[in-house]
Amino acid sequence: MLALSDYPPTWDDPGPNIDWGIKKLCKAGEIPNITQNIFREHVQRHYSNHIQIYTDGSYTPNAIGIGVAGQLGNKHRQISAPSSSFSAEAAALYLGVKMAPSNNQTVIFTGSASVLAALQSGTHNHPWIQRLEVYRNDNVTFCWVPAHCGIRGNEEADRLANLGRSEKVWKSNVPGPDLKRFITDKIQNRWNEQWRNTTDNFTRKIKHTTEKWTDRSDWREQKVLSRLRIGHTRITHGHRIDSRTPTPTCEICGIRLTVEHILMSCPKYEHQRNKHKFPCNIREILSNDASAETVVISFLKENQIYENI
């Protein structure tokens, strides 16, 4: 059964207490000694009478650990793979909140700005963030602290998180966003592997990976480029549409007309290729580079074959 403080916050709830003060004072790449001084002064000014808790997550592809260190004791746990590093940081923060007493002022330090920002937004759909929102404790303040700067409590939480990777799994459920990412990555890796092993595909000469390319703003130009990159155009494959049309051949060379032949070797277009300084391989000619694409489009238009692609 939920305690009174466990009910979801109302629409006018001010939200969690989040302190970004140290982040505003620390510059990127600051030397550790200065960062430590900023941290000590901030804690002395604001949290000298608070219970202090430090949390951290430790992520590897095979095991994810979380650690909590502080005046109330230390804990380290494992959460299920394939949870993300974000989930590890959020779970560690949740464990820290669970340890915080309801009748004392407590500050929980974390090095994850992304988790604190998600918590502050009040609209994040990650289950660990939602648990933090529901399990409210108004005596708790969350404070960002820079990681790996020699701050003792933070270093201890990091050590515990590393130990947590070998502990018994604390929470076996994998957050939906992490599971989706894991499945997507598996499919993407498998697709990439198959694509790398493909040898009889014209597009494979041009595109070595399955990563998404950037489209041009002009959809007509993009359509022409896409047809060139798959090697199927109206000028080279019109016979596939109309069986009465013979397979096209080059009027000069007497060989089958292909995209590669037009863009690389046909003497009819040699002057224009030299003028535009075409590279010596089809991959560079049809690469996903805005300037290279503009050159190809200009070449096609100057030779009056753009509309036939």
Q: Is residue 194 part of a domain?
A: no
List, for residues 132-144, the tens digit of each pLDDT value: 887 777 889 999 9
Closest Cα to residue 92, out of 170, 207, 149? 170
Average per-residue pLDDT for the chain: 89
Residue 198 has pLDDT above 50, yes or no: yes
The per-residue pLDDT for range 3-56, each reduced to its tens digit, is 434 555 555 666 788 999 998 888 776 788 888 999 999 999 999 999 999 999
Domain span at residue 29 reads 4-178
Torsion of CA 183, 58, 120, 148, to 10 degrees: -140
Q: Do 237 and 172 have their domain in common?
A: no
Mark whether 161 and 34 lie in a shared domain: yes
Q: Are residues 65 and 129 in the same domain?
A: yes
Please indicate, yes or no, if residue 140 is contained in any of the structural domains: yes
Is residue 290 domain-resident? yes
Let me know whether 158 and 210 are in one domain.
no
Q: Is residue 197 part of a domain?
A: no
Q: Tell me which of 113, 145, 178 is where a domain ends.
A: 178
- pLDDT at residue number 109: 96
What's the total number of domains in the chain? 2
Whether residues 66 and 115 share a domain: the answer is yes
Same domain, 251 and 295: yes
Instruction: Say yes or no: 66 and 139 in one domain.
Output: yes
Indicate whether 252 belongs to any domain. Answer: yes
Residue 146 has pLDDT above 60, yes or no: yes
Same structural domain for residues 166 and 208?
Answer: no
Average the pLDDT over each of 127-131, 139-143, 144-148, 240-244 and give the range with the smallest value: 240-244
Same domain? 45 vs 83: yes
CATH of the domain at 107: 3.30.420.10
pLDDT, tens digit, for every residue of 162-183? Answer: 999 998 888 778 888 898 988 9
d(CA 67, CA 155) in angstroms, rounded, equals: 10
Give whole-number Cα distances, 279 to 65, 261, 273, 275, 290, in Å: 50, 14, 9, 11, 15
Please report the pLDDT score of residue 12 as a whole number: 60
Residues 54, 125 within the same domain: yes
Do residue 66 and residue 134 come from a single domain?
yes
| Rounded CA separation 234/230 (Å) | 12
Indicate whether 166 and 221 sit together in one domain: no
